[in-house]
Chain A
């Protein structure tokens, strides 16, 4: 399998007054044309990992790694100018809540065409046509009308589909989805996921799916990284999650209620301080 992204020993550090804080502590993984899930609790460093790949960690955060290679580009030495060509065109990201991630004073249409026009030389009319087609591809009815709407005029599920359209329109090879359905109503979560899945699979893209929902990820991804305190504690094939060995993974699985086997009390996760210091598991292929 050709790899789209190789990351070795990635660290994200925030210098603070009382020493530095490491949000991501030396993780290694690679991404092929697959759906890679990253699961972990809040603060485990999963979102930071996503943003570090695009080098969008806010100052004063620092990204270091032994290797960070996307296609033929070395991300570590890439200038900001080169990174801008990579962002959107080669790797894109969908964030949690479309209410905040869409610009409130720009129309849907101008935000989508902007994503396209940044990377391709096209006439406005042509870009508009492509945007309408893209909205159609994410199952939005009456895309012509939606083009002229503002973000506050669309629902959450629709907003997230607009985000997907916007991020996929320049045809990137990698999509990072950072909790793309957490802010949505349960009733539309699956619909949005299916649309995303279909587009990603049809285009043969690599997907990094960041979530705290282990069940969702196991149904939806090919391979799962379980992160804890900035490190990878376990790597699983999605179908073999029940074979997971690490106590943290087992604990996460046990803390989810199961309709078919109801339990009077859910297990609380018992944390072992040794997990924090255990070396990160490599997820390179």
Chain B
């Protein structure tokens, strides 16, 4: 027994340098990716045909005022120095001031991002909890009605414009049936009733124990979240179906059947375990897509999220906000990728 417990321990001690190397590699990759992201956003800010000085002082300022602001913004320095300053600022969480709102961009984003996070999370949950079982069933009953249904759902999800579905959804469920609340995150009577802790209204109202606010917030979020959920469901169920079909045709599934296992066990314990790894990537991508802030959905539902924030800022020539928002979204993308990488290592014994 003593001998046995030593063997795995001894084995585990050896790969430590490799594990360290891997972590260091990941950190380096992330650093390079983020630096590249900053460089791209920085360059976008410089090549846009928007004069940042004019955006601050307006059209009627004198040449002297113009020159002063030009120096204040550091535009007289060489480009590389400007970039260094920009990176340093961003690393300190400083994205500059928003011209439109007059506030720090970081504060603005902290305010609008939870709205998008809440919507995207709920949407992804809907997409996963319906899309995955639907995809599995479609693969198991290939060619039967459930498979056709999944295909139809996917086809509609891929081909319908989201703004159209959003408007029709509002018309039917809000306008005609009155089952859900209209645009916005919260009814006007419920504003400011619960203290902001996480910025996620559903969570905040639960923490405060205020059920009426929770119900109202839920009634507001459920339609846009279902809509986004439907679009990620279409994608997730298609991918799940094709992953499952691949697994169900493999030899180890025959082995499982030879053992006399029930079909349920064969599908969920054997086949599904093998697609978890691929599925994680798909779900992470779908989630990242929604976190970007689905501009159209947020505009139709007057959802004060990051998609709407960036769009409005762009239309107002407010480049600091646009770039800040872009950097935040890019960072989230990278973070989600690393996270799914880590989950990979956890779920796939071959990756350890």
A1 to chain B, nearest CB (A): 26
Choice from B4, B255, B258, B348 contacting A103 with Cβ under 8 Å: B255
A163 to chain B, nearest CB (A): 8
What separation, in Å, do the CA atoms of A95 and B347 have in the docked complex? 26
Report, as a range, how many residues of chain A touch the other chain. 35 or more
Please indicate the chain A residues that have their CB under 8 angstroms from the CB of B255 in the complex: 95, 101-103, 163, 166
- Name A144's closest neighbour in chain B (CB-CB): B4
Tell whether B59 is near chain A: CB-to-CB under 8 Å. Answer: no
A86 contacts B4, CB within 8 Å? no
> Taking chain B's interface residues, is the majority helix, strand, or loop, or is none over half, making it mixed?
helix
A152 contacts B350, CB within 8 Å? yes
B1 to chain A, nearest CB (A): 9
Q: A105-B347, A106-B273, A152-B350 are in contact. Are A100 and B259 (CB under 8 A)?
A: no
**A residues bordering B, Cβ < 8 Å?**
54, 56, 84-89, 92-93, 95-97, 100-107, 114-115, 118-119, 142, 144-145, 148, 150, 152, 163, 166-167, 170
**B residues bordering A, Cβ < 8 Å?**
4, 7-8, 250-252, 254-262, 269-270, 273-274, 276-277, 347-350
- Give how many A-B residue pairs fall within 8 Å (CB-CB): 81
B260 contacts A103, CB within 8 Å? no
> Taking chain A's interface residues, is the majority helix, strand, or loop, or is none over half, making it mixed?
loop
A145 contacts B258, CB within 8 Å? no
- Name A102's closest neighbour in chain B (CB-CB): B252
Q: A100-B252, A101-B252 are in contact. Are A114 and B261 (CB under 8 A)?
A: yes
B252 contacts A166, CB within 8 Å? no
Please indicate the chain B residues that have their CB under 8 angstroms from the CB of A163 in the complex: 255
Max chain A CB contacts within 10 Å: which of B250, B258, B274, B347? B258
B249 to chain A, nearest CB (A): 9
Instruction: In the A-B complex, list the 9 residue pairs whose CB atoms are closest, starting with the nearest.
Output: A88-B260, A87-B260, A100-B251, A150-B349, A88-B259, A101-B251, A103-B252, A115-B259, A93-B258
What separation, in Å, do the CA atoms of A108 and B57 have in the docked complex? 71
B347 contacts A118, CB within 8 Å? no
What separation, in Å, do the CA atoms of A109 and B261 have in the docked complex? 16
